[in-house]
Amino acid sequence: MHGKVQTPVFLPVGSQATVRSLTPGDLDEIGIKMILCNAYHLYLRPGVDLIVKAGGLHKFMGWDKPILTDSGGYQIFSLSAFRKIAEDGVVFRSHIDGSEHRITPEKAVGIQQELGADIIMVLDVCPDSGSKKADLAATIPVTTRWAERCRQAYRDNGQLLFGIIQGGIYLGLRKTSAEQVTALDFPGYAIGGLSLGEPKSAMWDTVDCTVDLMPYDKPRYLMGVGSPEDIFEGVARGIDIFDSALPTRVARNGALYTRKGRINVRRSNYRDKLEPVEVSCGCFTCRNFTVAYLHHLFKCEELLAYRLATIHNLFFMNRLLGEIRGSLGSGRFEEAKADFLSGYQTTHEDARIEQKLRSVETKRRKALTDC
């Protein structure tokens, strides 16, 4: 293990062994204690062999604090072009070059054990959020059997292998999945397959129901959820670990968090704002640069824009989690939550905006590939 982590904690996403635009030193300065990388991405590129040769994922990317790797379950279903699930495992085509790959639960664990993350995840079936109940129901026993096979394949070297509970927004399916997966006695459990386009109320109803079926004394991880307001809602329900690409992705689009809600510094009314994003913020960006300068960098599409914005949003998230931990310690969490939410104007992400942001990133990557 690479250090202790206090919970609740938010993990920035560094799928490809880098939190976009930041060095490990930047993350450290922000105060980040743990990040998420994706076994799916790293298996495809640069390949597990190379990372093993480099001495493991921590050494490869120069980050000496804890890492959690996702197994690839979600990525195979959201990113890869073609996929076929069988009892044995999943066959999919790489989103990079179309090559065909087959991942079994055993292989998913093997990959993550070789990468050497501190927390690793079982391989799960993570269907589209629009799936019909009957289709989803059919995948629950597969997810359970895969979890069991992952547990069998796991060789104890100090890494923690977490189980994943699926079931979409169907409380009955969640109940089945939770009972079956927790019976396998993992050291921690995740709620997967949420924040995929379903209404917020359905998501929280599902979390409410699922959390009740998870052991109280083991870490509970809500995968893919991480807006400031969602963190409060999740913590209120007993969630310990969150991850989401949202704070870093919206940062690269110019949307910066403040206590009052997100502001988009690319808007013309920020051209002249010769103040930090938040006067009370202690992040590197706010200590050194004005909103007007950030506005200028975004307007020019200068690379520094993405970095400075990312630093601010991660600092905001990290500070928020620190405050939440403090309020839990002093028994004043509900007060802190009410206080934050009363001042914070929520920006509702919808699938359309998310899709647009992703497509811009893809276009940029494509443009760069041409050279």
CA 120 to chain CA centroid, Å, is 13
Phi, psi of 362, deg, nearest 5 = -65, -45
Minimum distance, C-beta of residue 9 to a second copy, in the bound complex (Å): 23
339 is catalytic: no
What is d(CA 332, CA 328) in angstroms, rounded to the nearest whole number? Answer: 6
- The residue range among 49-57, 102-110, 164-172, 316-324 that interacts with a second copy, by the rule CB under 8 A, is 49-57
Reported for 296-299, long-range contacts at CB under 8 A and 24+ positions apart, including other chains, are 296/271, 298/254, 298/265, 298/266, 299/266
Identify the active-site residue in 70, 118, 124, 230: 70
Closest CB to a second copy among residues 132, 364: 364
Closest CB to a second copy among residues 212, 272: 272
Which of 37, 218, 173, 204 has its CA nearest to residue 118? 37
205 is catalytic: no
Residue with tokens 């949202």: 246
Minimum distance, C-beta of residue 53 to a second copy, in the bound complex (Å): 6
Please report, for residues 91, 255, 262, the alpha-carbon distance to residue 357 in angstroms, rounded to integers and kept in the order given.
Answer: 28, 12, 16
Binding mask 251-290 for a second copy (x = CB under 8 A): --x-----------------xx-x-------------xxx
Q: Per CB under 8 A, does 86 bind a second copy?
A: no
Look at phi and psi of residue 126 and say left if phi exceeds 0, alpha if psi is from -120 to 50, else beta: beta
Q: Per CB under 8 A, does 299 bind a second copy?
A: yes
Residue with tokens 């110019």: 254
Query: 40, 60, 77, 189: which one contacts a second copy (CB under 8 A)?
Result: 60
Active site residues: 70, 243
Q: Which spans of this chain sit near a second copy (rule: CB under 8 A)?
A: 16-18, 20-25, 45-46, 50, 53-54, 60-62, 253, 271-272, 274, 288-290, 292-293, 295-297, 299-304, 306-308, 356-357, 360, 363-371
